[in-house]
Amino acid sequence: MTPAAPVRISLLYLFLFLIPARYKELHAQCVVLPNAFAHNDYWHKRPLHDALDNGFTHVEADIYLQRGALIVTHVLHPVFYNRRRTLERLYLQPIEERVRSHGGSVYAGDNRPLILMIDIKTNSSKTYKVLAPLLERYRHMLTEYNDGQIIQRQVTVVLTGRKPSGLLAARNRLAFIDEDLRKTVNDTSVSDVFPIASCRYTRLLDWDGTGSMPQAQKKRLCAFVQFAHRQGKKVRLWASPEKETVWRALLDCGVDLINTNKLEKLKMFLLSRNPETTVLTHTN
């Protein structure tokens, strides 16, 4: 054996054993992103799982009440929905399994709750009367409002779309409401009912991300954000342009949640912008 042979063998050992081990370790980690909101999450190839693999802390699912089942779909038409794609099967069951396998949290080593936003597309009262007992089966992992006290658990359910506001005035419930951001100006309620305040982007802004946001629009947005924050509510603008210039301006104005269908693109943007605010956690 030549003198160089041991060196070559050592390098080969490093390549075959140490590097793959480090590669697997890095890919077993996930970066938790508190500002990331997966809009219409069920459109992705792997609903819920794609969002969680990218560190998202907020996911949204649209539901329709159809023959007693809560179907997850954007349009209630046989071409677009599958009766097996229920809220329980796509979201509640897999979240429960994940919490169990991660020792009691959605992201191992991180105790922040996952926000599951449910967009009700059918009659609010009828849909909620089916949704409420379903949520009750998962009470052990759902944030609860109990006679003025919030009991924080691994998942917080927030209802949007056709909101059953009257029914959610109950003294004990397992769901909260997404408020219209524009109503925060005249609202004195706090986050025990409305933890999030949302609005369609174009109802506040018409800036498409080219150049800088006009000062008048920036001032308007920042004012609404301040109203919501005084009440302890997170702010989200949905249907915003999928551009980094827009995301940057929204965050600069204090918008808490960036709404996106482009999971990996937003993840890389948030990491490049402020990596020190993220948390590394093992997903397996």
pLDDT, tens digit, for every residue of 146-160? Answer: 988 999 999 999 999
CA distances from 185 to 93, 228, 255 (A): 38, 8, 16
Q: Which of 58-67, 98-107, 161-170 has the lowest mean pLDDT?
A: 161-170
Nearest to 143 by CA among 98, 189, 101, 191: 191
Cβ contacts of 259 within 8 Å, gap of 6 or more: 37, 39, 236, 237, 238, 239, 240
Domains within the chain, CATH numbers bracketed: 31-277 (3.20.20.190)
The pTM (predicted TM-score) of the whole model is 0.85
pLDDT, tens only, 144-197: 999 889 999 999 999 999 999 888 877 899 999 999 999 988 866 666 788 999
